[in-house]
Chain A
Amino acid sequence: MASATFRIWRGNKNGGEFKDYATEVAPGMVVLDAVHEIQATQAHDLAVRWNCKAGKCGSCSAEINGMPKLMCMTRLSTLPLNQPIKVEPMRSFPLIRDLATDVSWNYSVKTQIKPFRPRKPDTPDGTWRMAQADVDRVQEFRKCIECFLCQDVCHVLRNHHLHSQFIGPRFFVYAGALEMHPLDDENRLRELRDSQGIGYCNITKCCTKVCPEGIHITDNAIIPLKER
């Protein structure tokens, strides 16, 4: 069986360092499998958040060789195993310990966005009619699993730390899903421009590049909102 070295960040908000762990790897393994193997055999106190192991819960977000990825969806066969695989926590959020970060800022941001407000019912029985063609566009946005990889990679948050003025790509997708919804009657454009910082986005498309659900965040959510 082949062996690979994983260079994993160990530490908390007061500091830390990378530590190397060599472990055996087998075909079909993903990074999360290797991290679990290391946790079980070499570093029992290694903090790592995970849940579904199927790329749908968005829990195991981390940075693998410098790129934000889901550990459970990153196959070892896609990585150069002849050199140490660097695994570190998301850098845009406060570190709790090792690979676990505090992403609660995102939940508070979500409360700032005006909720869904449907227009008056279309029929006397209090129901609405909408065409599939009209919801196709926003259904793409509903694929978001809230892994916050897009928030992590966005340089406005990552490098400039404008968390108090910029809601980040995830919430432009969320706002876009509401704003473009055929039944929604609310207007969120003023907040998006004035307090939620859509003008900070300079369209680097890094968010689109790292989205594990393949959502075209920049082209289908952010730019249409900028155009509105």
Chain B
Amino acid sequence: MHEVDVQVTKFKFGQTSRIDLWWAQPLTVLLVLSAFVAYATWAAFQGVHYRFGPYLSPLYSPELWGNPLTAWIGGKPGWYPSWLVFSPAFFILPFPGGFRVTCYYYRGAYYKSFWADPPSCTVGEPRKTYWGERKLPLILQNIHRYFLYIALFFIADLAYDAWNGFWFNGHFGMGVGSIVLLVDVVLLGGYTFGCHSLRHRVGGVLDRLSGSPVRKKAHDCVSCLNARHMTWAWCSLCWVAFTDFYVRACSMGLIRDWRIF
């Protein structure tokens, strides 16, 4: 490609002419993401108090291995290393975690906050070399499109959990926890169904969408959610942590789950 003699300023780390609070947003992202990772890791290592009545924490759903009475497959598997702490969450969290880590929105956010690449728009960076997402390891971010399919399964699973959250000993009812679980799946659905990869898959790949009215409608719907992808991403992330906290606190007897009917 054409070379250009760019005698531009070499910006030092943090150097900028901006006078606004450019550091506020990346700092907020750093704090909130770090807090979520710390809480989710702590909650995953607990291995208990993830179920209360009909409620199941989203960090532990689906419970593949765990309590033999409630898990899909059974108790702790025989092949599980004896030296390793056991928790049903360990089989679950890598998948939604992978979907989030490779998400186009989060990538842009945490490259700024955790890697200062760049710290913010028109702010100097700490490193001189730059590979982008062309080489390992960051080229692996493209695996996002495959994590999408797993994430869609999780939405179906969490919708099933939310439905179960309305059934108390065989009777339909509603507790505060039922609403918490329902909001959780709605927010996660808004985030997942607004995914850039899904937008491409359902219709973005086509140049002539008018010939496929169903795919056009699907593309329009995904695009609508995608326009607020950042909002969905943060709301769903925080609500997942809150849902786990709510179920955990109820299970530990710290708070009471109010029954509405």
Contact = CB atoms under 8 A, between A and B. Distances in A.
A205 interface: yes
A195 B131 CA distance: 14
Given A204-B108, A206-B122, A163 B204 contact: no
Contacts of B208: 130-131, 134, 182
Nearest to A165: B1
Interface stretch (A19-27, A34-42, A53-61, A62-70): A62-70
Interface in A150-207: 153, 155-156, 158-165, 167, 179-182, 184, 195-197, 199-206
Interface residues of B, number: 51
A209 B128 CA distance: 24
Q: Which of A93, A201, A204 has the most CB of B within 10 A?
A: A204
B169 interface: no
Contacts of A155: 117-118, 121, 125
B207 A65 contact: no
A206 B216 contact: no
B1 A80 contact: no
A6 to B, nearest CB: 13
Interface stretch (B3-11, B27-35, B48-56): B3-11
A105 B204 CA distance: 31
A1 interface: no
B121 A204 contact: yes
B243 interface: no
A63 B59 CA distance: 46
Contact of B130 (A91, A162, A205): A162
20 contacts: A65-B17, A67-B122, A88-B17, A91-B122, A93-B6, A112-B1, A112-B2, A133-B210, A158-B122, A159-B130, A160-B130, A162-B130, A163-B3, A164-B4, A167-B1, A197-B134, A200-B133, A219-B227, A224-B200, A224-B204
Interface of A: 13, 63, 65-68, 80, 83, 86, 88, 91-95, 105, 108-109, 112, 130-131, 133-134, 153, 155-156, 158-165, 167, 179-182, 184, 195-197, 199-206, 209-210, 218-219, 223-224, 226-228
Given A163-B3, A219-B196, 6 more contacts: A67-B18, A91-B9, A108-B2, A159-B130, A161-B8, A200-B133
Per CB-CB distance, the 4 closest pairs between chain A and chain B, nearest first, are A66-B17, A66-B18, A200-B132, A199-B134
Interface of B: 1-9, 11, 16-20, 104-105, 107-108, 111-112, 117-118, 121-122, 124-125, 128, 130-134, 138-139, 142, 145, 196-197, 199-200, 204-205, 207-210, 216, 226-227, 229
